[in-house]
Copies of this chain bind each other. A is one copy, B any other.
Amino acid sequence: MSKPQTQMSLGMNILGFGAHAAAWREGDAPVDAYLDVDYYRNIARISERGCLDAIFLADGPALGGDVATQPGARLEPTILLTAVAAATERIGVIATASSTYNEPFNLARRIASLDYISAGRAAWNVVTNAADAAAQNFGLAGAPLHVDRYGRAEEFLDVTLKLWDSWEDDALIGDRQSGRFADPAKVHTLDFKGRHFSVKGPLNLPRSPQGRPVLVQAGSSEGGKALGSRYADAIFTTQTTLPDGQAFYREMKGRARAWGRNPEHLKIMPGLSTVIGSTEAEAHARFDRLNAWHGEHGLLQQVAGRIGMAPEELDPDAPLPWERLGAVADFERGSQGFLEAQINLARRENLSIRQLSRRILVGHRLLVGTPEQVANTLEQWFLAGAGDGFNIMPDMFPSGVEVFVEQVVPLLQQRGVFRREYQGRTLRDHLGLPVAENQFTAARAQAASGY
């Protein structure tokens, strides 16, 4: 196993009003805040005060959920995070975008542009989107099969990495006297012809400030694991129990090694939803208040949705209907990663559906407790080799990020497992990732050394 790093990374995942579906009803923020750039800027600045690695925005190109009861609309992440980057100095920005419903040239260029504008703080979180609603906005009747989405994603990443690497570092000359702007021999076409894409290239941007933007992969299905271990710099994963988290961590580091990679250069970041109170009782009171808004039906619906069933089909006081759940790898009605994480938790702790509905919110592990308990679990998972860092999903904004930064972060700092100040300026610096060498520059250097 790779040598564990001594300090963890932390991302702040801004899920609209928060990870609890009733967050908008509690009134922490105005009901139209999710369309207001200042709402996001404020969360980002608070997170930056806590020296967090990055702001993370999930996404899907469709109106999600039931608009009658939920704010399913979202500002587009690359645009919103450009505005957030302009209002911050150090914190990274991770934009989710779909490999199924974009073209590599356009997306590679947008993320690279964000890397320029943020001076090296940009990342793309690749997702394939399992939702039919997204497919129906792009000429399809329903989402492509899991295997097809991941086949396209693999080729998409291959093309994107080549586009990001198409200019050598010293391609720009800029000699006014001779009129030589760039060395065309150092700006490379791809001439890529694959099953899904044909892209001539080069990208119409030189290598960006981080060499290339950080690549994050979210999705813990077999397809996601194969993709992430090969291409990603960081994996955002859902792990609901420590043994499962440790097993996933070991597996992914091993897979990275099998691809010939340094496993330290693949960061594993499980998600953690938080409901924080100054005492356990206060935390649970806060959670109960949110649950009361959402109602029993709403809570059960979240569990049912993740197994592709209606809440009416389930007995809340019984366990998950094991006999009716097929193999995870055959699941096509939603995220395989979320399905598996939910099954793991229910099985290991022998939970009824009602109990399960209070142990998980958006599909990630949930902790309801004090700042100390949150710090404890983050430290425990980190030291036990279940995560290089964590993507934090507070129940509600902005109070959830405020309490995390003001009360959890200082505990982690005191224990020496989180930075007291930023050591670098780029997201790669924060994550402890090297700047990838340009393939052509490397080949030249090798040739010059005579092998």
Task: List residues of chain A with CB under 8 Å of any chain B CB.
Answer: 22, 24-27, 31-32, 35-37, 61-64, 66-76, 78-80, 82-83, 85-87, 101-103, 105-106, 109-110, 113-114, 116-117, 133, 136-140, 172, 174, 176, 179-184, 187, 197-206, 293
Contacts and interface: CB of A to CB of B under 8 A. Distances in A.
A35 B205 contact: yes
Given A31-B172, A174-B32, A176-B25, A139 B68 contact: no
Contact of A80 (B71, B117, B200, B204): B117
Contacts of A66: 184
A110 B27 contact: no
Contacts of A67: 181-182, 184, 187
Nearest to A35: B116
29 contacts: A24-B176, A24-B181, A25-B176, A25-B179, A26-B176, A31-B172, A32-B172, A35-B116, A35-B205, A37-B116, A61-B105, A61-B204, A63-B202, A63-B203, A66-B184, A68-B180, A71-B182, A76-B106, A78-B78, A78-B79, A79-B82, A79-B113, A80-B113, A83-B117, A103-B138, A133-B200, A136-B199, A137-B201, A139-B199
B68 A181 contact: yes
B199 A137 contact: yes
A441 to B, nearest CB: 17
Residue of A106, A136, A140 most packed against chain B (CB within 10 A) = A106
Contact of A136 (B70, B187, B200): B200
A117 B68 contact: no
Contact of A82 (B24, B68, B83, B180): B83
A233 B183 CA distance: 42
A73 B206 contact: yes
B79 A117 contact: yes
A185 B310 CA distance: 23
A450 to B, nearest CB: 29
Nearest to A135: B200
Contacts of A293: 176, 179
Given A63-B203, A67-B181, A71-B182, 4 more contacts: A24-B176, A35-B206, A67-B187, A74-B204
Contact of A187 (B63, B75, B78, B140): B63
A105 B138 contact: yes
A205 B82 contact: no
B117 A198 contact: no
